Structure 1
């Protein structure tokens, strides 16, 4: 019985503390972390330090027909213009996770970002 308990505890710890890169699907709360790691250097608080008009603000996304998580995920994956894609860095579904987070931030005028 004691051995079974040890196995259960070890299994729970393994699942709970597996690194995000090792998981097949990032959890939704990772959007902020993925953004900070891969996007924030050029897009602090939804801005853009390279090209002023290419922000992640809602008006700019709408103006460029990118007003959806799907459109944002496509750019995160493959890039656009001078921005390269981050498909490998974001993993299997990280593009969708970070795009959902970006879309939420845009809807909230990046107040939380």
Structure 2
């Protein structure tokens, strides 16, 4: 019986390698309601309704996010965490979970046209 499981696991691993897939456990689902609260406190001053009062073209609309390669939760989380140019870093102010929540919220809003 154990040999059978080893073969199944070997086949699954080989399949993942052939198709260049990886198995990564998913993080706990982001809390977008919390993300909205965080956004309103920390981000809305510069990014009201997905705009950008500092640099108009660097807004949070889906078209701009795609243009600048920021159209994923991970990319948004990286810039929220580390900042860039005029964008402040929030790694000292927000927890990793809060950054995930707000990043997920931003992408969700961008995909919905910031309604």
Q: TM-score w.r.t. structure 2 length?
A: 0.71
Instruction: Note if 1:58 corresponds to 2:67.
Output: no
Unaligned stretches of 5+ in structure 1?
Answer: 1-24
Shift of 1:54: 0.6
Shift of 1:92: 2.9
Corresponding residue number in structure 1 for 2:48: 44
CA distance in 2, matches of 1:41, 1:82: 13
Report SS of the residue matched to 2:80.
Answer: helix
Cα RMSD (Å): 1.4
CA distance in 1, matches of 2:41, 2:81: 15
Larger radius of gyration: 2
Instruction: Note if 1:67 corresponds to 2:71.
Output: yes
Shift of 1:48: 0.2
Shift of 1:90: 1.4
Q: TM-score w.r.t. structure 1 length?
A: 0.72
